[in-house]
Amino acid sequence: MKQIFKLVIIAFLVVSCDQVKSKGGEYGSTTISALKTSTKDAAKPLKTNTIIVKKKIIKDGKLVIVVSNLKTSKANIDTLVQNLGGYYDNESLSNTEYSNEYNLTIRIPSTNLELLIAKIEKGEGEISYKEIDARDVTEEFIDLESRLTNKQKYLSRYQDLLKSAKSVKEILDIQEKIRVLEEEIESTTGRLKYLNDQVNYSTLDLKITHEKDYKFRPEQRASTFEKLKRSLSNGWYGFVDFLFFLLSNWAIIILFSVIFYFVNKYRKQRKNKKKNNNDLPKNA
């Protein structure tokens, strides 16, 4: 009986070991597959949300062209600027003995600046000077935007604190900080608007010049009669000015006259006294 009981126990243990091995094999295979999957996932590159920053470039240019017909060239420039969405920020005309020239400050969408310059170069006239300048203000733009965002957050916090302020001192302190923040926000916003305008619209300083043919022009001189009238007029005005000078300084003139009179009288007296002493006979 005991032997049969031992055999049953041994059989039960053998069956239990087989089940454990089979389960262990399943868990082991599952764990290995999970590790493989995790390894493959780790090998794959991680997807990151990259922020693409649009460049902020300010483009400006200077151009000088020499033309044979100033009026026609100016009309062509007017048409080009209008068709490309630009406008004149400043316009001036100069007419000298040697040349006629237009000085134009053109504001035009930055995307059309190079096209405008190319069309001007293909038109009538000779390019005597050309300069294109590009400035990258992306870093300044991002910095200003970041500062503006932070200042707006601080402003919102101070406005919330103002609602819960209990003493007059707290209210005044918070209002002062709000005032400073509002001024800084206004200044930063204005700077951002200016940069946006400079980025979106380029500036082209354009000079259109027409050189004139040299002509000798003798200097115009006044006639003899005109010179005579001018001389008489200058003499009369000089005499009148002298009289007014004497009238305005009469006190000084009288004072010097009195001093001169007494000094002259004193000299004469000394001279006569010396002469009388010389005329006296000398004692033997």
Quick one: 133 and 71 in the same domain? Answer: yes
pLDDT for residue 263? 86
Q: Which two tokens stand for residue 280?
A: 């006296």
Would you say 176 and 155 are in contact if contact means Cβ atoms under 8 Å apart? no
d(CA 277, CA 273): 6
Mention every residue, 6+ apart, whose C-beta is less than 8 A from residue 112: 84, 85, 86
pLDDT for residue 46? 41
pLDDT for residue 201? 92
The CATH number for 67's domain is 3.30.70
Q: Which of 198, 219, 240 is the last residue of a domain?
A: 198
pTM to 2 decimal places = 0.53
Question: What confidence category does residue 25 fall into, taking pLDDT thresholds of 50, 70 and 90?
Answer: very low
Nearest to 158 by CA among 184, 176, 185: 176
Q: Which two tokens stand for residue 180?
A: 């400073």
Question: What confidence category does residue 279 fall into, taking pLDDT thresholds of 50, 70 and 90?
Answer: low
d(CA 24, CA 18): 10
In a domain, 93, yes or no: yes
Would you say 65 and 58 are in contact if contact means Cβ atoms under 8 Å apart? no
Helix (H) or strand (E) holding 103: strand 99-109
For the chain, the domain total comes to 2
Indicate the residue type of 116. Answer: L
Would you say 98 and 212 are in contact if contact means Cβ atoms under 8 Å apart? yes
Question: What confidence category does residue 3 fall into, taking pLDDT thresholds of 50, 70 and 90?
Answer: low
pLDDT for residue 47? 46
pLDDT for residue 281? 58
Quick one: 94 and 148 in the same domain? Answer: no
In a domain, 101, yes or no: yes
User: Which tops the pLDDT comparison, 159 or 14?
Assistant: 159
d(CA 274, CA 268): 10
Q: Is the pLDDT of residue 26 over 50?
A: no
- Write down the mean pLDDT value for the chain: 79
d(CA 148, CA 192): 10
Quick one: 93 and 122 in the same domain? Answer: yes
- Find the domain containing 179 and state its range: 139-198
**Tens digit of pLDDT for each residue in 70-80?**
899 999 999 99
pLDDT for residue 92? 93
Nearest to 61 by CA among 10, 118, 99: 118
Q: Is the pLDDT of residue 123 over 90?
A: no
Q: Is the pLDDT of residue 38 over 80?
A: no
In a domain, 238, yes or no: no
**Tens digit of pLDDT for each residue in 231-241?**
888 888 888 88
Per cent of the chain over pLDDT 70 is: 74
What's the order of all strands across the beta sheet hosting 87-95? 87-95, 99-109, 201-211, 57-66, 126-136
Quick one: 75 and 124 in the same domain? Answer: yes
Would you say 103 and 207 are in contact if contact means Cβ atoms under 8 Å apart? yes
Mention every residue, 6+ apart, whose C-beta is less than 8 A from residue 161: 174
